[in-house]
Amino acid sequence: MRVETPEAAPAALGRDTYRIVREALTNVSKHARGTAATVSVSGSPGHGLEVTVRNRLPLDPAAEAPLPGAGVGLVGLAERVALSGGTLSHGPDTDGDFVVNAWLQWQE
């Protein structure tokens, strides 16, 4: 399923979606440079909006230099999503991908 009528989404929902995708893609460029990422957004009024960003884990995580403030963005993002009544999860999955997944409320 996709978002069939994105223009029906409230402005705050659009801003939250944008911030989730921006933070996740920023993390891909910082921590998994050179890997491809996919972004999926689906949902509808009354059912909520699911936002998923997925990328392969780096083959050699030790080669990635630690960055100052690493992890702070996802913590802040989780707080923002929770304040809007949604949920956020992030971490590696069993397929070798790092996944950021958010569910946001979308009232009818």
Distance between CA atoms of 57 and 5, rounded to whole angstroms? 33
Cβ proximity of 37 and 55 under 8 Å: yes
Distance between CA atoms of 71 and 102, rounded to whole angstroms? 17
Q: What amino acid occupies position 2?
A: R
Reported pTM: 0.86
Distance between CA atoms of 76 and 68, rounded to whole angstroms? 15
pLDDT digit string, tens, across residues 14-64: 999 999 999 999 999 888 888 999 999 999 999 999 999 999 987 665 555
Give the confidence band of 81 by pLDDT, cuts at 50, 70, 90: very high
